[in-house]
Amino acid sequence: MKVLQFPLARITVCFLFGIITAFYLFPNPKLIFGLLVIFLVSLSFLATKKDSKFKCYFAIVSYLTSYFIGMSSLIVQTDSFQQSNYSHLFDKLDKEVSTTLVIREKLKNSKFNYRYIGIIQQIDKQNCNGRILVSIPKKQFKVFETGTILNIKGNIQRNKKPDNPNQFDYGAYLSQKQIYAQLYPANATIKISPEPKKDIWYYIAKINSRIIHNLEKTDFNNSTLAVASALILGQRQDIAPEIIQDYQYAGAVHILSVSGLHVGFIFLFLNFILKPIPNTQKGSLIKLSILLLSLFLFALIAGLSPSIVRSVVMFSFVAIGLHLRRSVNIYHTLLVSMLLILLFQAYFLFDVGFQLSYLALFFIVWFQPILASYWKPKNKILKYCWDILTVSFAAQIGTLPLSLYYFHQFPGLFFITNLAVIPLLSIIMFLGVVVMTLAATGFTAVWLTKPLEWSILFLNKIINYIASFEQFIIKDIPFNFVLMSCSYFLIIAAILWLKKPQFNKLITVLLSIITLQTALIYNRWTTQNQEEWIVFNSKRKTIIVERFGKEVSLFTNDISYAKSKVLNSYLVGNSSHIQKQGTINHMAYFKGNKILILDSIGIFPKNYKPDIVLLTKTPKINLERMLLSLKPKLVIADGSNYKYILKKWKASCEKQKIPFHATAEKGFFQLN
């Protein structure tokens, strides 16, 4: 790959490895900063040497410096390293405290709560800072606007690990966004400051609210307005779940996240509007200033998500290149934009949207010209359709392994979706930019808003129709990190061979196929040799799973749980299926362990000596007496028990020096 021959590419790769190393190894900040200073001094010394023998040393030190800059960037941007961050107040966490914070961002609401990201100012009158997730009951309070200052008396709970196996790690996801805890208010204990904090986020939220409010006054369809807000303003929190599901099944969910496609339309639209300005030196500078300012404002209004930042930075470089009248090397643009973004937002590297957007764009730039070269239709309509198909296919191939790794499904009709949607999306984007801009000023003419509304309604109907062919949606595909890596090895090897067929490249393709097959065989062998007994954590329910290889036995008194998302994630993650389902017995055996399961009745045999006791549905027993009688090695309490009694049980077990595992506190229990 020629792109790897660029010095900038090697520097970027070293920089990325530095970020990844710091993320997983948690190095000592003082040591990393010290090494960075040493390498910077060495680099400046070698830069003064003109002797050719120093060039090799200069290159090596440059790569090492880039590596340590990557590590330093992530450390500097990790809020938990700051002593003023609330995560250091260990005595204040997991208990009721008085917290003063500013509402920064609205999130998608849950069934019973409004959800926000807040910026902490004080905890129990102690100054501190940091981002926190706030859940506020819908029944007791109205929606709070961005910038509202609240004093909340409630529990700050640190991010938990997943409650059940193979479940999405929401706690780790929040930590990547520098959110280390969640705040739950006590009953009606929120005081609202009369004056909000008027920063840039406050005014951006006001602009968004004004746009939405003005469009609502024109009787704009609510579900359509939610999609319009996502397409133009990057606000997805109000879209109905069924609409999001339709876009996922149709392979068009990327449309709802503002990215390069949307910013590209805006860039072209602005260039069209600015065409009357003459291409003199002064006129070109005015154009560039307006373009950069407009793109920057759009990024702010759309929430500065990773995909938006990436797209705006890239098109900013394109605009600068046009101003300087120089051809822009797209690979250099990709690399420089990635370096700049990650230098200031290193955690974007671990954002799924950032990964998918860069992969999609890279494969479009690299692979699409190869596909397009196989057929060059002379008819303009055919050429337009062929270009859309090749771009869609290149992007889909580039993101397929990563999508399977994260989402475990593949929309088979993605190419039809893109062929039908992209022409319509260009119209929607041009109309949307005009309508939203005018709505911000209070101008909402029906002859402008209705075409936008009808266009989005038509878009939703197309998406819904394509998504209705569920037989083309391949779901629940087991795919781990090793399979993803081997898949990319195969894809890259195949593209290199297609670009320039040679015998040695064909050998590489065959080796990559063998590698992928080996990974699949090893994955199957590993799964077949696994045995485990698991108690799931589920409120008011007892769920027990016994797995031998790919065959799973499910024991529960709730038959509906067999189709739950939690259990499905476990089955997909372990390439397994439910072989049989039964009710829960009072006794179980697994790998020589005798297990006693007590329910609400609480009756147990006196002569039975179990290794493990599982408490379910809050059994009416004297636990201390039972422990003295049975003397188990371990006591488990699942999520079907009342929480108030768990502390008493824990104390009783500690008194008898018997380990106690409450799934409500520690998550699922696994025996293997």
> Mind listing the pLDDT tens digit for each residue in 431-463?
888 888 888 888 888 888 888 889 989 988 998
| Dihedral-angle region of residue 518 (phi above 0 means left; psi in -120 to 50 means alpha; beta otherwise) | alpha
536 DSSP β-pair partners? none
The rounded distance, in Å, linking the Cα atoms of 410 and 251 is 8
What pLDDT is recorded for position 164? 92
What pLDDT is recorded for position 32? 93
The rounded distance, in Å, linking the Cα atoms of 75 and 22 is 7
What pLDDT is recorded for position 4? 59
Tokens, residue 554: 């499910």
Selection from 292, 343, 287 nearest residue 316 by Cα: 292
**Whether the Cβ atoms of residue 65 and residue 57 lie closer than 8 Å to each other:** no
CA distances from 201 to 121, 145, 150, 296, 523 (A): 16, 11, 16, 14, 48
Tokens, residue 152: 């909340």
Q: Residue 286 in 3-state DSSP?
A: helix
> Mind listing the pLDDT tens digit for each residue in 144-170?
888 999 998 988 888 888 899 988 888
Selection from 111, 129, 112 nearest residue 120 by Cα: 129
Residue 314 burial (CB count, 10 A)? 27
> Containing H/E element for 39?
helix 29-47
Tokens, residue 12: 């970027």
Question: Apex CA 620: angle with CA 618 and CA 623, to 5°?
Answer: 90
> Containing H/E element for 447?
helix 446-467
122 DSSP β-pair partners? 100, 127
The rounded distance, in Å, linking the Cα atoms of 298 and 321 is 20
What pLDDT is recorded for position 260? 66
Selection from 486, 546, 485 nearest residue 670 by Cα: 546
Tokens, residue 558: 């709730």
Give per-residue burial for 94-108: e unless 16+ CB within 10 Å, then b: eeebbbbbbbbebee
Selection from 670, 440, 381, 464 nearest residue 547 by Cα: 670
The rounded distance, in Å, linking the Cα atoms of 364 and 371 is 10
Say what the pTM is: 0.85
Phi then psi for residue 671, to 5 deg, are: -120, 120
What pLDDT is recorded for position 392? 84
Residue 663 burial (CB count, 10 A)? 22
- Block mean pLDDT (10 aa), the chain, length 672: 68 92 91 92 82 78 92 93 86 80 88 89 90 87 87 88 89 90 82 88 84 85 84 78 86 74 75 79 82 81 70 78 69 82 89 85 88 87 85 88 90 82 82 84 84 89 88 87 94 92 92 95 91 91 91 84 81 90 88 89 79 91 86 91 90 91 92 88
Q: For residue 229, give the amino acid letter.
A: S
149 DSSP β-pair partners? 102
Q: Which residues contact 671 (CB under 8 A, 6 or more apart)?
A: 532, 533, 534, 590, 591, 593, 612
Separation of CA 68 from chain center: 26
Selection from 228, 196, 194 nearest residue 211 by Cα: 228
Residues, the chain:
672
| Sign, Cα dihedral of 80, 84, 87, 91 | positive
Selection from 256, 334, 395 nearest residue 387 by Cα: 395
Question: Apex CA 636: angle with CA 631 and CA 640, to 5°?
Answer: 135
Q: For residue 511, give the amino acid letter.
A: L
Task: Name the packing angle between helices 503-528 and 481-499 (round to 10°).
Answer: 170
**Whether the Cβ atoms of residue 148 and residue 84 lie closer than 8 Å to each other:** no
